[in-house]
């Protein structure tokens, strides 16, 4: 075996012949001279690729040497990782996989000898003579997942799990503690915060360090515990950090922390890393100043200039937000982003950003950081990092396709086995817990596996059967993974709304049964969420604070699940409701003592005046047998309980529900309108009141509110309307706006092609954007929304081509309307050409939404109004364009035809206005249209006469 490899460990070379064993002592001593010389050389010059002098210069230049002193010492002398002194030789056999992949073992040994990391091969007796008693850990070779033909050599430094006569020495890892080597962790939460606050148009890239652990040299005192056995009689002395030793992760991360900090001091960033995987973000240089102000704010909010330590992790803590989440960072944010565009030649695209790969390469080459260039993900709007796809164009983070496939296979393999060991449970639980970072409500579907973790811990090697709860949860996970629904939006922290919303439950107020108070508290919390949803406006989604006095429910909701199965089922319903609600983004729970909880008396039947009651909320069908409506007459069960004298008190005495009169209801409605004054616009309150009036008429109830009083309330409310209730004036779209969008959008991208086609057609049809899009991708209805079968190409009486779009349902015509436009041959904004290009990139059957586009993960998606608006905002923000939105298309289309001399009544027909509604529309938008019409006096005069009210 000794003759198979070169022995010096200094440079790779082929052995010419096998060495002849000799029993002569002088010969044996001669055989040890070369490895002894190699060991002496390695002690003086540790095996590392890094340019130690360059690291020293950088650390001193940026005044970082005192923070990272151990890094320089480790590079020069080797790192001490607290391996034990070995008193007795112990060299257990390797695992069977080494025999299976023996060729891979030979390749690895040859490579490590060539790099100077291994010294050998040597007989085990020779190793003892050179370094004294040693201990090797069993080797195994495992294929690398998702990389066919690639393998990883792993040393089981945790062997043996317990000592015995054959292996009396404890494992190497039993002497070490990962907490002795703390470092930063690029957690999902840290990366999410970092990326959510990037300016528009930013880009991401990722890079991996090649064989990261093997670049870290070990101190000679650590070598005896790091010997590699390569056969029954021979081994190698490993002088570098190995995969499997518990301190390895922290030691390498500390080196990576140092490199990252040097990069930040060069103005490169923002950046972060997870072990050897680095993510780099770059921003457009026009946003550098504004982004640096944010970094300064973060720096001022960081509570301590020195990092905090939590076990094996170090971090910087920022402010605690109103949602009770403390922001965390892997840096102190003191280093600002610099504009490095002039540091070296670069492409026109790279010149738009703060730095490029060329800047990163220049610094990396000086430090000799060995990037694995084959794994580079160049700068783009999206990248895959820590198992997730981060998309800055769609502002969405999702489980990567490879992880999705892997997790589905894991669930499928689970179902194939009738019973499962503790290790089986840990593996599946770890995968699905990882996915929960992108699917927050997934935590409520892991409680079955969490229960198995506890039951299997007593007998970890004995397979246990999973209960039905685990099977149901796994089915739910399968649905989510198959539908590519493991995703969440990337959005910066928003201020949660405090509506002073409280919930409580009492174990004494029930329907004659004994109930778990945690379950009752969870039901109260659920009904509170429904009530919050009913009073929020639909214009945007909000984060809301909800108070409760049950710590189990408050803390359980923060964790996303509850140990109690019944409470957890309630949480699942709430998660689903929030996911489908357009008004609620998140619910943040806060604890309040019972004595301070305004809902506490309500839970015991002590009610306020009926006019203060919240609107009725839906009661889940699962809880309807246990809940009665406090505002409804007593039901038969309640009457029977009263007769039997067992009806819970004091509810029946304090609130006589049968006496709630219509007069109180009507007063409540008027009071509600008064309470809303100053918070909403006059038109919103008028619509709200009209809806109440219609409800009364529909149900045959009298409407006894004084008309003059109601008029006065609404008139006063309109004067008190806050400025925030009125939208800023929308600038109209123009043809040159569409032409600019054409140059800025990537029309080879399926989404951009669909959006541009939609914009042009809506513009030239003078339509509403909502008529050609869907409100949400899950709400597509072919009977209401336009599909590809609804497009018809015709010719008019003059033989000119016309394209007709049949809109199945509009807010003005439930039976549908027709919109039409004509091709503009040769024009950049030709709507028919844009449509054909979109249909070519996004082919689908006729029943598909007209502007459905191919998402790179979930496949065909109906085009939502939100998607279009989001893209418009990203373009106008990135290029400092006027304030235009979806409705700007209808305004702009109207203006376009008027400026082209089309008669007002013809434009009215194109836009499908009925009666006087077109005149009203022009009056409403006169302030927007008039400046453009001033350039055509005759048209302005016609516009004035058309919109002038008739003489009375």
Most confident of 21-25, 66-70, 724-728: 66-70
- Cβ proximity of 137 and 157 under 8 Å: yes
Confidence of residue 200 (pLDDT cuts 50, 70, 90): very high
**Which whole number is the average pLDDT over 173-178?**
92
| pLDDT above 50 for 407 | yes
**Which whole number is the average pLDDT over 267-280?**
94
Cβ neighbours, 10 Å, residue 246: 22
Last residue of a domain, one of 704, 725, 746: 725
- Strand, helix or coil for residue 339: coil
Structure tokens at 456: 């299997």
Query: What b/e sequence results for 922-943 when a residue is b if at least 16 CB atoms lie within 10 Å of its CB, and e otherwise?
Result: beebeebbeebbeeeeebbeeb
- Residue scoring higher pLDDT (148 or 870): 870
| pLDDT above 60 for 7 | no
Reduced DSSP (H G I as helix, E B as strand, rest coil) percent helix, strand, coil of the chain, to 5: 45, 15, 40
Last residue of a domain, one of 488, 522, 547: 488
Residue 246 counted as domain residue: no
Q: Which residues contact 833 (CB under 8 A, 6 or more apart)?
A: 823
Is the C-alpha dihedral spanning 465, 470, 475, 480 positive or negative?
negative
- Strand, helix or coil for residue 708: helix
- Cβ proximity of 52 and 245 under 8 Å: no
- In terms of domains, do 43 and 142 share one? yes
- Whole-angstrom Cα distance, residue 22 to residue 25? 8
> Mean pLDDT lowest for which of 275-289, 474-488, 512-526?
512-526
Residue 776 counted as domain residue: yes
- Whole-angstrom Cα distance, residue 674 to residue 404? 52
Looking at the chain, the whole-number percentage of residues with pLDDT higher than 70 is 82
- Whole-angstrom Cα distance, residue 181 to residue 589? 36
- Whole-angstrom Cα distance, residue 886 to residue 879? 18
- In terms of domains, do 700 and 804 share one? no
- Over residues 776-829, the pLDDT tens digits come to 888 899 999 999 999 999 987 778 899 999 999 998 888 999 999 999 988 999
- Whole-angstrom Cα distance, residue 948 to residue 467? 75
- In terms of domains, do 483 and 504 share one? no
Is the C-alpha dihedral spanning 837, 842, 847, 852 positive or negative?
negative
| pLDDT above 60 for 6 | no
Structure tokens at 241: 């950090």
CATH code of the domain covering residue 555 = 3.30.420
Residue 642 counted as domain residue: no
pLDDT at 197: 95
| pLDDT above 60 for 657 | no
- Over residues 533-546, the pLDDT tens digits come to 887 766 566 788 88
- Residue scoring higher pLDDT (22 or 520): 520
Structure tokens at 302: 């960081």
| pLDDT above 70 for 650 | no
Give the β-pairing of 377-380 and 203-208: antiparallel
Chain centroid to Cα 733, Å, comes to 33
Length of the chain: 952
- Whole-angstrom Cα distance, residue 416 to residue 412? 7
- Residue scoring higher pLDDT (21 or 697): 697
**Which whole number is the average pLDDT over 450-467?**
92
- Cβ proximity of 568 and 562 under 8 Å: yes
pLDDT at 124: 95
Mean pLDDT of the chain: 84
**Which whole number is the average pLDDT over 203-210?**
96
pLDDT at 606: 66
**Which whole number is the average pLDDT over 466-492?**
92
pLDDT at 607: 64
DSSP per-residue letters across 262-305: HHHHTT--SEEEETTEEEEEE-BGGGHHHHHHHHHHHHHH-S-S
Enclosing domain of residue 233: 31-178+212-238
> Mean pLDDT lowest for which of 1-5, 350-354, 449-453?
1-5
pLDDT at 622: 78
- Cβ proximity of 15 and 5 under 8 Å: yes
Cβ neighbours, 10 Å, residue 790: 17
- Residue scoring higher pLDDT (502 or 476): 476
- Cβ proximity of 738 and 829 under 8 Å: yes
pLDDT at 322: 78
Confidence of residue 621 (pLDDT cuts 50, 70, 90): confident
H/E stretch holding 591? strand 584-591
- In terms of domains, do 717 and 830 share one? no
- In terms of domains, do 752 and 869 share one? yes
pLDDT at 770: 93
Closest CA to 330 of 178, 199, 182: 182
H/E stretch holding 638? helix 636-643
- Residue scoring higher pLDDT (304 or 197): 197
- Cβ proximity of 395 and 490 under 8 Å: yes
DSSP state of 751: H
Which residues, listed in sequence order, are joined to residue 122 by a DSSP beta bridge? 235
| pLDDT above 50 for 885 | yes
- In terms of domains, do 549 and 527 share one? yes
- In terms of domains, do 829 and 764 share one? yes
- Cβ proximity of 827 and 760 under 8 Å: no
Last residue of a domain, one of 466, 488, 510: 488
Residue 362 counted as domain residue: yes
- Cβ proximity of 853 and 723 under 8 Å: no
Phi, then psi, of 730 in degrees rounded to 5: -90, 130
Residue 719 counted as domain residue: yes
| pLDDT above 80 for 705 | no
Confidence of residue 351 (pLDDT cuts 50, 70, 90): very high
| pLDDT above 90 for 494 | no
- In terms of domains, do 691 and 819 share one? no
Looking at the chain, the whole-number percentage of residues with pLDDT higher than 90 is 52
H/E stretch holding 553? helix 551-559
Place of tokens 């390749």: 107
Phi, then psi, of 890 in degrees rounded to 5: -70, -40
pLDDT at 637: 67
| pLDDT above 50 for 574 | yes
- In terms of domains, do 316 and 234 share one? no
Instruction: Give residue 635's region: left, alpha or beta (phi > 0; psi -120 to 50).
Output: beta
Number of domains in the chain: 6
Closest CA to 850 of 745, 748, 758: 758
Residue 636 counted as domain residue: no
- In terms of domains, do 935 and 809 share one? yes
pLDDT at 841: 95
> Mean pLDDT lowest for which of 244-248, 298-302, 504-508?
504-508
Q: What is the rounded (10 degree) CA torsion for 363, 366, 370, 373?
A: 50
Closest CA to 857 of 519, 438, 538, 299: 438
- Whole-angstrom Cα distance, residue 376 to residue 145? 18
Closest CA to 469 of 561, 540, 543: 561
Residue 15 counted as domain residue: no
- In terms of domains, do 786 and 895 share one? yes
Give the β-pairing of 497-503 and 542-548: parallel
DSSP per-residue letters across 62-88: TT-TTTSHHHHHHHHH-B---PPPP-S
Is the C-alpha dihedral spanning 886, 888, 889, 894 positive or negative?
positive
**Which whole number is the average pLDDT over 179-188?**
90
- In terms of domains, do 713 and 819 share one? no
Confidence of residue 312 (pLDDT cuts 50, 70, 90): confident
Confidence of residue 952 (pLDDT cuts 50, 70, 90): very low
Residue 2 counted as domain residue: no
pLDDT at 676: 60
pLDDT at 888: 85
- Over residues 409-439, the pLDDT tens digits come to 999 999 999 999 999 999 999 999 999 999 9
Tell me the CA distances in angstroms from 274 to 328, 364, 410, 785, 862, one per residue in order. Answer: 15, 18, 24, 45, 36
- Whole-angstrom Cα distance, residue 487 to residue 96? 40
| pLDDT above 50 for 9 | no
Closest CA to 237 of 352, 329, 357, 109: 109
Q: Label residue 482 exposed, middle or buried (CB < 10 Å: 0-12, 13-18, 19+).
A: exposed
pLDDT at 506: 62
Confidence of residue 379 (pLDDT cuts 50, 70, 90): very high
CATH code of the domain covering residue 752 = 1.10.443.10
| pLDDT above 70 for 16 | no
| pLDDT above 80 for 655 | no
- Over residues 893-932, the pLDDT tens digits come to 988 888 887 888 888 888 888 766 666 666 555 555 555 5
Give Dmax over CA atoms of the chain in angstroms. 128
Closest CA to 873 of 886, 861, 889, 858: 886
Cis peptide bond prior to 228, omega within 30° of 0:
no
């Amino acid at each position: 075996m000794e003759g198979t490899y070169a022995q010096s460990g200094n440079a790779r070379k082929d052995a010419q012949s096998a060495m002849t064993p000799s029993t002569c002592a002088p010969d044996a001593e001669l055989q040890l001279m070369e490895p002894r010389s190699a060991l002496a050389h390695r002690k003086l010059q540790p095996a590392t690729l890094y340019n130690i002098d360059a690291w020293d210069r950088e650390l001193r230049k940026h005044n970082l040497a005192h923070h990272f002193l151990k890094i320089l010492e480790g590079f020069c002398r080797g790192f001490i990782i607290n391996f034990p002194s070995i008193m007795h030789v112990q060299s257990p056999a390797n695992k069977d996989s080494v025999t299976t992949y023996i060729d891979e073992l030979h390749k690895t040994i040859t490579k490590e000898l060539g790099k100077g990391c291994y010294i050998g091969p040597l007989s085990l007796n020779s190793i003892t003579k050179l370094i004294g008693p040693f201990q090797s850990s069993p080797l195994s070779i495992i294929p690398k997942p998702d990389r066919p033909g690639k393998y990883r050599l792993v040393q089981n430094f945790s062997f043996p799990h317990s000592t015995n006569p054959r292996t009396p020495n404890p494992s190497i890892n039993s002497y070490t503690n990962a907490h002795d080597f703390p470092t930063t962790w690029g957690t999902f939460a840290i990366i999410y915060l970092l990326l959510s606050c990037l300016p528009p148009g930013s880009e991401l890239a990722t890079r991996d360090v090649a064989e990261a652990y093997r670049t870290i040299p070990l101190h000679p005192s650590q070598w005896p515990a790091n010997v590699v056995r390569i056969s029954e009689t021979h081994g190698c002395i490993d002088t570098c950090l190995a995969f499997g030793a518990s301190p390895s992760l922290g030691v390498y991360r500390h080196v990576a922390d140092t490199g990252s900090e040097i990069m930040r001091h060069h103005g490169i960033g923002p950046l972060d890393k997870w072990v050897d995987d680095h993510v780099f973000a770059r921003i457009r240089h026009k946003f550098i100043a504004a982004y640096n102000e944010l970094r300064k704010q973060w720096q001022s909010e960081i509570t301590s200039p020195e990092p905090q330590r939590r076990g094996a992790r170090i971090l910087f803590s920022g402010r605690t937000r109103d949602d009770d989440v403390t922001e965390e960072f892997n840096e102190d944010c003191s280093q600002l982003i610099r504009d490095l565009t002039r540091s070296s030649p670069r492409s026109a695209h790279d010149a738009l950003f703060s730095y490029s790969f060329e800047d990163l390469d220049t610094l990396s080459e000086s430090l000799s950081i060995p990037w694995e260039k084959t794994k580079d993900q160049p700068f783009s709007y999206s990248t895959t990092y820590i198992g997730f796809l981060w998309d800055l164009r769609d502002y969405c983070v999702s489980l990567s396709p490879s992880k999705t496939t892997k997790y589905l296979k894991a669930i499928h393999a689970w179902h194939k086995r009738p019973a499962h060991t503790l290790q089986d449970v840990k593996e599946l639980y770890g995968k699905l817990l990882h996915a929960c970072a992108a699917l927050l409500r997934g935590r409520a579907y892991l409680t079955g596996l969490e229960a198995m973790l506890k039951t299997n811990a007593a007998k970890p090697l004995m397979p246990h059967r999973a209960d039905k709860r685990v099977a149901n949860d796994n089915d739910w996970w399968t649905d989510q993974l198959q539908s590519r629904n493991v995703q969440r939006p990337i959005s910066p922290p928003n201020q949660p709304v405090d509506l002073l919303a409280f919930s409580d439950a009492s174990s004494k107020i029930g329907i004659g049964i004994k109930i778990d108070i945690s379950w009752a508290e969870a039901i109260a919390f659920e009904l509170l969420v429904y009530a919050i949803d009913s009073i929020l406006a639909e214009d945007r989604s909000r984060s809301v604070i909800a108070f409760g006095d049950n710590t189990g429910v408050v803390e359980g909701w923060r964790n996303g699940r509850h140990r109690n199965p019944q409470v957890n089922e309630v949480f699942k319903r709430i998660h689903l409701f929030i996911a489908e609600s357009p008004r609620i983004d998140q619910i943040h729970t806060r604890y309040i003592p019972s004595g301070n909880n305004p809902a506490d008396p309500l839970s015991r039947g002590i009610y306020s005046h009926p006019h203060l009651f919240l609107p009725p909320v839906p009661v889940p069908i699962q809880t309807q047998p246990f809940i009665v409506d406090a505002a409804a007459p007593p039901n038969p069960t309640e009457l029977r309980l009263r007769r039997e004298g067992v009806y819970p008190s004091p509810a029946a005495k304090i609130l006589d529900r049968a006496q709630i009169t219509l007069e109180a209801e009507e007063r409540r409605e008027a009071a509600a309108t008064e309470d809303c004054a100053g918070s909403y616009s006059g038109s919103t309150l008028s619509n709200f009141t009209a809806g109440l009036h219609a409800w009364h008429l529909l149900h045959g109830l009298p409407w006894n509110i004084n008309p003059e009083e109601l008029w006065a309330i609404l008139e006063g409310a309109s004067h008190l309307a806050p400025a925030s209730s009125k939208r800023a004036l929308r600038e109209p779209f123009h043809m040159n706006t569409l032409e600019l969008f054409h140059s800025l959008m990537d029309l080879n991208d399926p989404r951009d092609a669909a959006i541009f086609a939609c914009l042009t057609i809506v513009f030239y049809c003078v339509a509403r954007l909502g008529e050609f899009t869907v409100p949400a991708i899950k709400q597509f209805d072919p009977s209401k929304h336009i599909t590809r079968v609804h497009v018809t190409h015709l010719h008019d009486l003059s033989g000119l081509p016309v394209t007709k779009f049949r809109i199945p349902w509009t807010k003005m015509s439930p039976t549908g309307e027709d919109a039409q436009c004509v091709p503009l041959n040769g024009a950049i904004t030709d709507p028919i050409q844009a449509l054909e290009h979109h249909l070519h990139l996004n082919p689908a059957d006729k029943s598909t939404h007209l502007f459905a586009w191919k998402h790179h993960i979930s496949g065909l998606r109906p085009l939502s109004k939100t998607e279009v608006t989001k893209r418009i905002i990203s373009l106008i923000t990135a290029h400092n364009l006027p304030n235009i939105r979806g409705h700007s298309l209808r305004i702009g289309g109207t203006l376009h035809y008027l400026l082209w001399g089309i008669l007002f009544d013809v434009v009215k027909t194109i836009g499908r206005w009925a009666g006087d509604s077109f005149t009203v529309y022009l009056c409403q938008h006169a302030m927007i249209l008039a400046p453009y019409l001033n350039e055509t006096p005759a048209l302005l005069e016609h516009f004035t006469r058309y919109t002038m009210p008739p003489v009375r």
